[in-house]
Amino acid sequence: MADGRGSRALHVSLDERKLSVIVLSLFSSWMLAFLFEGQILYALLDSSDVSPSPMVFGGVAANFAGLFLCGFLIKTKKAARRLFLCSCAFFIAASAIFFFPLSVFWRLGVITSSFLAGACVAAWGFYFKSGTPKNERTKTAADVLICSNLLMTLLNVVAIHLSPIIGLALSMIVLFGAFIFALRLPADDDAAFGVTVTTKEEPVNIAGSLALLCLFILIITINSGLMYEVINPAFAHHEWLTSWYWAMPYVVAVYAMRNPALKINRTYMLYVALAMIGFSFIAFVFLNRSAMSYLVVNTLMLGACGIYDLFWWTILGEMLDYCKNPATVFGIGLSANVLGVLLGGLIGKAISSAGTQAFNSTLLALAVVCVTLALLPPLHRRLYSLLKDHAYRVMFSEISPWEQSRLADQVATYENLSERERQVASLLLQRKTYKMIASELFISENTVKYYVKNIYSKLGIKSREELIDMVLATTDAAATKE
């Protein structure tokens, strides 16, 4: 009977994961193609003979504000779903304004929609946390990034080569699809998997690690802003090539990092991506503005962007288990990305007025690479310390329940744990909270805390992390003997 309930729960959670990927992919493709430096918006403004910079920069700033503030306003999954559904209806109406001649409503529509769009992306953190198991969040993040960028490319091609009006209409259809699928998203606030890594008994402060990660994201994405304002305009005359190839290296890089069959050292790839960014700007200085040069520069730059985007989406995904409101962590983390693009764009716009813009932008980009290179080691240490427990639990969860129990018995016997202490230790290793352990063993939570204190004292440890570490060490020792 219990197995049947578990199967149904798994089926529901998988449905939620797929739905959340579809919803955010459809929504993000509209946002990227229209609001956020979107080619549809650029084409519409160009056809109206209007400078895009004020409206575009205003939209990016509003998007940053929506991401950053969402977690302070949206505190439940039910509220997140309501925000998304209401916002989609508003987005469709705001997009329809662009079928009419240029007016002040264009600017109001872009600014307001950008703010709400940022809030919607941040609110998706609720579904990222509850709809995807911890060890599959890389897959979910990669699926969203790949699908949204492929759809964005299709919308861009239509807007550039057919008509911006047709591109706008198609983007509204995509947005309506996001609304339809969002209606099926669950609104309950209980996590689909019923388990979180951090409990009230073992609080973890992620503020310092999140701040360092945000600083890292902010600095490195300045290069993305420079790319929008310096590199992309330099190759604008290759319209056919840039319209479809621009996001392809990004998609390929994300897919490569997602594919578990490819044995990639992800930490090593972060340094490779830094080198790619540096070489991209160097190539931009020394190569001409031919199609081949564009392929070299864009492949290096967008490939690096794909590696880094998946990196911080995944890290933010793992951090969600250490907070009550996922929209706060996810929104603040991604707002650093948007702020970096905004600052880089403003700097690039200022540099573009100088006659040596390619050289100046390259110097700035290389300075950014150097600062980022200095930040990587301390960032890695902080994240490893924070997420080490999570990684070990994933490893331990891959061991069969029978093997988990056997290993727990070995440790318990060696350290002279009592039978009840052995039972509590085994349940701790299964990521059960104190309340869940108390319910399963028919004892009070205070009694559970008493047993946990005895277990930690006898084993000479201070946390569940060290307990898992000890069990994994037992596994490694056994493997070595064999």
Domain ranges of the chain: 11-147+162-188, 206-377, 399-481
pLDDT per residue as tens digits for the range 154-213: 999 999 999 999 999 999 999 999 999 999 998 875 444 333 444 344 445 778 888 888
d(CA 220, CA 432): 39
Q: What is the pLDDT of residue 426?
A: 79
CA 120 to chain centre: 14
Crossing angle, helix 207-220 and helix 357-397, to 10 degrees?
A: 140
Q: What is the pLDDT of residue 323?
A: 84
Which tokens hold the place of 89?
């209806």
Which pLDDT does position 436 carry in this prediction? 81
pTM as predicted: 0.75
Residue 12 contacts residue 192 (beta carbons within 8 Å): yes
Tokens found for residue 181:
């699928």
Residue 6 makes CB contacts below 8 A (sequence gap 6+) with none
Pairwise CA distance, residues 54 & 31, whole Å? 18
What CA dihedral angle connects 323, 326, 332 and 334, to 10 degrees?
A: 130
Query: At the topology level of CATH, where does 399-481 sit?
Result: Arc Repressor Mutant, subunit A (1.10.10)
SS in 3 state form for the chain? CHHHHHHHHHHHHHHHHHHHHHHHHHHHHHHHHHHCCCHHHHHHHHHCCCCCHHHHHHHHHHHHHHHHHHHHHCCCHHHHHHHHHHHHHHHHHHHHHHHCCCCHHHHHHHHHHHHHHHHHHHHCHHHHHHCCCHHHHHHHHHHHHHHHHHHHHHHHHHHHHCCHHHHHHHHHHHHHHHHHHHCCCCCCCCCCCCCCCCCCCCCCCCHHHHHHHHHHHHHHCHHHHHHHHHHHHHCCCCHHHHHHHCCHHHHHHHHHHHCCCCCCCHHHHHHHHHHHHHHHHHHHHHCCCCHHHHHHHHHHHHHHHHHHHHHHHHHHHHHHHHCCCHHHHHHHHHHHHHHHHHHHHHHHHHHCCCCCHHHHHHHHHHHHHHHHHHHHHHHHHHHHHHHHHHHHHHHHHCCCHHHHHHHHHHHHHHCCCCHHHHHHHHHHHCCCCHHHHHHHHCCCHHHHHHHHHHHHHHHCCCCHHHHHHHHHHHHHHHHHHC
CATH number of 11-147+162-188: 1.20.1250.20
Can you give the pLDDT at residue 227? Answer: 81
Cα–Cα distance for residue pair 268/153, rounded to 1 Å:
29
**Spatial CB neighbours of 416, under 8 Å, sequence gap ≥ 6:** 458
Assess contact for 274 and 369: CB atoms under 8 A: yes
| 28/175 Cα distance (integer angstroms) | 9
* Residues 430/402, Cβ–Cβ less than 8 Å: no
Alpha-carbon span 361 to 359, nearest angstrom: 6
> pLDDT of 59-86, one tens digit each?
999 999 999 999 999 999 999 999 999 9
CA distances from 99 to 172, 287, 407 (A): 12, 40, 66
pLDDT of residue 469: 65
**CA-to-CA distance for 3 and 102, rounded, in angstroms?**
60
Same topology for domains 11-147+162-188 and 206-377, yes or no? yes
pLDDT score at 282? 86
Q: What stretches in the chain show pLDDT beneath 70?
A: 1-14, 189-204, 260-267, 352-364, 380-415, 431, 465, 468-469, 471-482
Residue that has been written with the tokens 């998007």 in this structure: 63
Check residue 476 and give its pLDDT. 47
CATH number for region 206-377: 1.20.1250
The pLDDT assigned to 338 comes to 94
Write down the pLDDT at residue 413. Answer: 54
What gap in Å lies between CA 386 and CA 44, rounded to an integer?
46
Closest C-alpha among 276, 28, 15 to residue 145: 28
> What letters, b where the CB count within 10 A reaches 16 and e where it falls short, cover 322-361?
bbebbbbbbbbbbbbbbbbbbbbbbbbbebbeeeebbebb
